[in-house]
Amino acid sequence: MEALCKRYEEMYPQFQHFNDPILYPAPGGPQLMDDRARITAIYLREDGLIGLAGACTWEDEHGLGVLIEDSRVVDCGYCDVAYDERWAEE
């Protein structure tokens, strides 16, 4: 949840112009993400990484993706982060 909060904080300046505190609230702690993001898919990838994909209020077009390696988050971004195995080649 911490990585997701950090990602949201990085992206928040892009959302301020929407002036919608329900969909784009000011950054806060992990509890803020509980109502704003949902994991809907888990990918057990061939490269050994685990991808989590889902939806979030601040990116309804591209969704949310989290990549996990050895129980730690290595990337957090759009949903393709979760299942795109080209990530491992970079």
Task: Indicate the domain borders of the chain.
Answer: 2-89
- pTM for the full model? 0.71
Cα–Cα distance, 68 to 46 (Å, whole number): 13
Cα–Cα distance, 26 to 69 (Å, whole number): 29
Residue 76 in contact with residue 7, Cβ under 8 Å? yes
Q: Which residues pair with 67 in a beta bridge?
A: 51, 75
Give residue 86's pLDDT. Answer: 66
Percent of the chain with pLDDT over 70: 90
31 vs 50, residue with greater confidence: 50
